[in-house]
Copies of this chain bind each other. A is one copy, B any other.
């Protein structure tokens, strides 16, 4: 990635923060004031450079249409890290995790997990699971983790079929496998992602 001058870097940082906060690009005259300039020309020049170097893009002639390149959004994935044992990490890879882009679809929803029956599936109390509504219950694959509504309530379990019965298996040997007639199980959604925010005050 081509490097930036200090003036270009300063504008770029301010621009990214502004777009993240306001969900739209500022106008050139707004940037002018933010950079303590009294003419739009310098901003235009810097934007041109940022565009040529591949940092931003915009629709020509249209107002407030600047956007940061998609491959620069989110947080950078600096490399892989071994939880198993020390080895190489911090590569100079440019891959990025766009938390707002790819994984989430419109209609997805989240549930806060309570209880510990899914610990062996690496889901613990307090995690937030992102679920996707299931259109066709027949299409659910064996072992998929789903939010299922049965007569007594809704629960998060692995989904299995057994003849015309449906098994809901917890991922914790301390809890029992539950079995219901297929028609009495209403699958509300399937697991698409897990999010765990770490409370900085929390200590193991």
Which residues of A are in contact with B by a Cβ distance under 8 Å? 13, 16-17, 19-20, 22-25, 27, 62-68, 75-90, 96-97, 99-101, 103-104, 106, 108-119, 121-125, 127-130, 141-145, 147, 150, 152-158, 170, 175, 178, 188, 190-198, 200, 203-204
Contacts and interface: CB of A to CB of B under 8 A. Distances in A.
A16 B106 CA distance: 9
A68 B23 contact: yes
Contacts of A64: 24-25, 62-65
B147 A81 contact: yes
A14 B158 CA distance: 34
A67 B22 contact: yes
A66 to B, nearest CB: 7
A18 to B, nearest CB: 11
A88 B147 CA distance: 12
Contacts of A84: 114-117, 170, 175
A198 B203 contact: no
B65 A115 contact: no
A143 B204 contact: yes
7 contacts: A75-B104, A77-B112, A83-B118, A87-B155, A100-B100, A190-B200, A194-B198
B78 A203 contact: no
Nearest to A168: B86
Nearest to A81: B111
A203 B158 CA distance: 10
Nearest to A115: B84
B150 A86 contact: yes
B193 A194 contact: no
Contact of A196 (B99, B156, B194): B194
A176 to B, nearest CB: 9
A197 B203 contact: no
A203 B144 contact: yes
A145 B99 contact: no
